[in-house]
Amino acid sequence: MRRRTPPPPAPLPQRDGVDPVRVRLPVGGAWATVREHLVERLTGAGPGMVEAMFAAGQVFGADGRAVPPDAPYRPGMYVWFHRELPAEEPVPFPVEVVYRDEHIVVADKPHFLATTPRGSHVAQTALARLRHELGLPALTAAHRLDRLTAGLVLFTVRPGERGAYQTLFRDRRVRKEYEAVAPYDPSLTLPRTVRSRIVKERGVPAAREIPGEPNAETRVELAGHRAGLGRYRLLPATGQTHQLRVHLAALGVPILGDPLYPEVTGPVPAGDFRRPLQLLARRLEFTDPVTGTHHAFTSGRELRAWTSYADWSGESRPPG
């Protein structure tokens, strides 16, 4: 099997921790110029945006030179450019570095901050911030947490080693422990292991459970309860999208602050950082595939609905 030739290195530096966009011109098509292809391909960039980029000399080839507007189309050619970043509401919470060596960075991510650039969240992500703050432009994420979930995330320093750390998660050789605050139900028998089949359809905000062979497994334990609230310890054996949120909602104890489960509610306005989802990636434990060192990390964050429900909710006591 012939190995795929890797793309050439980017001729542009990162901007605020965000990589330039790389486009490879496909084989086939009737485009006469590079510009014509990008106008058709980047329809979401806005009218006149591509022409303005070419006029300003902001589209570059692998040789580091600006691509002129009349440059002929060449299948397989790579071009790079920096996209205009969306207007993002700054997330006013720091990303804490729990551990750092020459191979990995373990960060304690706050609620509301995406792990990696995606959709409308680009510069306001843990990855972009850490690249900029630590001076590590090659930093990459070995896995992800939901934007609304806080806690520990593993990043890799060297691109060539990323696959080894991602394999840890794929092969379930990372012990992950989460903590959640949700209503307390005295009739719910715990501990228990929840198994179900979860699907997440593209463009649909919430995942759902369907009949079929289970692809998601979570051990649920009760760590404590008071005043109608439970503090739950969650040990996922798998990593399906929104798995913990889906499983607790299915048990009748949806996580506090969840805008999707059990029902999708209206979007929270940008800049509203009240009532964060009460879900925290508390611990990560694994044997480093590069150094052989055994690591066990614990988040220093607390779930406010448990430590002070009134502070989290603005109400004097939990409902019910």
pLDDT digits (tens, 9 = 90+) for 4-19: 678 888 999 888 888 8
pLDDT in the model for residue 144: 93
Nearest to 93 by CA among 151, 179, 140, 180: 151
pLDDT for 1 equals 46
- The pTM of this model reads 0.85
Residue segments in the chain with a per-residue pLDDT below the cut of 50: 1
Q: What is the pLDDT of residues 189-219, one digit of tens each?
A: 999 999 999 999 988 999 999 999 999 999 9
Residue 193's pLDDT is 98
Catalytic residue among 63, 70, 146, 171: 146
- pLDDT of amino acid 44: 67
60-61 and 78-81 as β-strands: parallel, antiparallel, unpaired?
Answer: antiparallel
List, as one string, the DSSP characters of the chain: -PPPPPPPPPSS--BTTBPPEEEEPPS----SBHHHHHHHHTGGG-TTHHHHHHHTT--EETTSPBPPTTPBP-TT-EEEEPPPPPP-----S--EEEEE-SSEEEEEEPTT-BSS-BTTBSSSBHHHHHHHHHT-TT-EESS---TT-EEEEEEESSGGGHHHHHHHHHTT-SEEEEEEEEE--TTS--SEEEEEEEE--TT-SS-EEESSS--EEEEEEEEEEETTEEEEEEEESS--TTHHHHHHHHTT-PPTT-SSSSS--PPPPTT---S---EEEEEEEEE-TTT--EEEEE-----HHHH-HHHHHSSSS---
Residue 19 annotated among the catalytic residues of the structure: no
Q: Count other Cβ atoms within 10 Å, centred on residue 159.
A: 10
